[in-house]
């Protein structure tokens, strides 16, 4: 935050300039995730006395689901249509199922890490 340098805002409610053309982050996961990465980096850098990085995300895309078999994919702040129909639906499916949602954890591997952390050697 420009007027509060030790406070780092992130997520859907943060207003952050994304580029030098006056565009701002919108309420979407594509901006929230990147804002989070910058905020995390900058909070750690601030604590360590290191320089922080200005947020930037000049690329902007939208992929809107339009039903069971169709979608529309646009690029840029002027929303230039690049892909439509079933091809865009494949992109939307990949965004939702691969990029946004993490893979399911291997249950036993996750438990082993937790159990190992609970063991205390005296």
**pLDDT digit string (tens) for 105-122?**
676 776 676 666 555 554
Residues 6+ apart with CB under 8 A from 36: 10, 11
pTM above 0.85, yes or no: no
Q: What are phi and psi of 77, to 5 degrees?
A: -70, -15
What's the confidence (pLDDT) of residue 122? 42
Q: Residue 76 gets which letter from DSSP? A: T
Residues 6+ apart with CB under 8 A from 30: 57, 60, 61
* Range of weakest confidence among 7-11, 53-57, 80-84: 7-11
Residue pLDDT, tens place only, 92-103: 999 888 877 766
| The dihedral formed by the CA atoms of 31, 34, 36 and 41, expressed in degrees to the nearest 10 | -150
């Amino acid at each position: 935050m420009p007027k509060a340098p030790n406070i780092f805002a992130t997520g859907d409610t943060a207003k952050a300039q994304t580029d030098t053309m006056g565009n701002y982050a919108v309420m979407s996961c594509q901006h929230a995730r990147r804002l989070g990465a910058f905020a995390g980096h900058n909070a750690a850098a601030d604590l360590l006395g290191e320089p922080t990085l200005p947020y930037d995300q000049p690329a902007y895309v939208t992929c809107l689901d339009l039903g069971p078999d169709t979608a529309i994919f646009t690029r840029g702040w002027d929303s230039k249509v690049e892909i439509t129909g079933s091809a865009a639906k494949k992109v939307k499916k990949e965004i939702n199922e691969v990029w946004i949602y993490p893979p399911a954890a291997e249950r036993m591997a996750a438990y082993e890490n937790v159990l190992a952390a609970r063991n205390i050697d005296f």
